[in-house]
């Protein structure tokens, strides 16, 4: 049964994201409790934990509570942080199979607890601020709606690279993000030029001084996305910024240029 807050559409405000490459005790505890509320049993969770850890269940534990529940607590404590998110994906699949909203519960927890992840189509993906999410997700949706699927795919790949565990592929995220923007810009101008050339040869493509920002972003991509400096990989925050910027600009071009361009 839905709770009062769910029926009224009331949610805690999103907390500042402070948890990303980690799965502290509150995350581990929450994923178990949400699974229980969705009708999963301790033995269901134990089965999947044993798959993650390549272990066999304790045959001496046969009662759901407290025996198997205690075993679940021990097993999840042995998981590396990224294995915890593997488990969350497995439970999201099982929850959907049973018609339960496990993903919804976990996503509410992630936002309230400041966890920089979210479940999208039963896969754990990176979660940014509300502005980042709006820019990138809406950018993707707008590109799909306008039939610019190649650019939408590049933007999706940028998000996938940010979501890689245990370490985000920041270089790939930047490359894909700028490839998405370049793809849209080429499409609307009918040119095969690079993004930098397109900006110089099409002064009306972006309003001033945004065009200068885009040109500098393209230069940044050349330095950190394609021509790497040894010992200086892009930081996650830098890659996230570039993906967000690409999402905003792709959405801008898709909305301002006629659909038959």
pLDDT for res 99: 83
pLDDT for res 117: 97
Our CA dihedral for 180, 183, 187, 193, rounded to 10 degrees, sits at: 150
Tens-digit pLDDT profile for residues 178-205: 999 999 999 999 999 999 999 999 988 9
pLDDT for res 195: 92
pLDDT for res 258: 60
Q: Kindly report the backbone phi and psi dihedral angles of residue 23, in degrees, each rounded to the nearest multiple of 5, phi listed first.
A: -140, 75
pLDDT for res 228: 53
Assess contact for 251 and 138: CB atoms under 8 A. yes
pLDDT for res 3: 83
Q: What share of the chain is helix, strand, coil (3-state, %, to 5)?
A: 65, 5, 30
Structure tokens at 135: 């820019």
**Domain limits, the chain:** 4-124, 130-256
Below-50 pLDDT ranges, the chain: 260-261
Task: Enter the pTM of the model.
Answer: 0.84
């Amino acid at each position: 049964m839905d709770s009062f807050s769910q029926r009224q559409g009331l949610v805690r405000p999103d907390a500042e994201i402070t948890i990303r490459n980690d799965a502290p005790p509150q995350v581990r505890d929450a994923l178990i409790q949400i699974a229980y509320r969705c009708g999963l049993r301790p033995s269901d969770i134990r089965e999947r934990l044993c798959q993650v850890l390549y272990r066999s269940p304790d045959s001496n534990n046969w009662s759901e509570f407290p025996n198997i529940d205690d075993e679940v607590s021990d097993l999840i404590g042995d998981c590396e942080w990224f294995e915890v998110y593997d488990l969350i994906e497995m439970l999201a699949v099982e929850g959907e199979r049973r018609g339960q909203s496990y993903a919804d519960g976990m996503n509410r927890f992630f936002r309230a607890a400041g966890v920089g992840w979210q479940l999208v189509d039963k896969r754990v993906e990176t979660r940014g601020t509300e502005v980042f999410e709006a820019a990138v997700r809406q950018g993707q949706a707008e590109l799909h709606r306008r039939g610019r699927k190649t650019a939408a795919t590049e933007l999706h790949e940028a998000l996938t690279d940010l979501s890689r565990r245990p370490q985000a592929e920041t270089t790939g995220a930047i490359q894909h993000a700028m490839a998405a923007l370049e793809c849209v810009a080429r499409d609307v101008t009918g040119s095969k030029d690079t993004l930098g050339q397109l900006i110089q040869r099409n002064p009306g493509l972006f309003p001033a001084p945004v065009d200068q920002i885009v040109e500098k972003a393209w230069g940044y991509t050349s330095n950190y996305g394609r021509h790497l400096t040894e010992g200086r990989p892009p930081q996650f925050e830098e890659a996230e910024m570039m993906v967000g910027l690409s999402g905003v600009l792709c959405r801008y071009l898709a909305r301002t240029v006629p659909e038959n361009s």
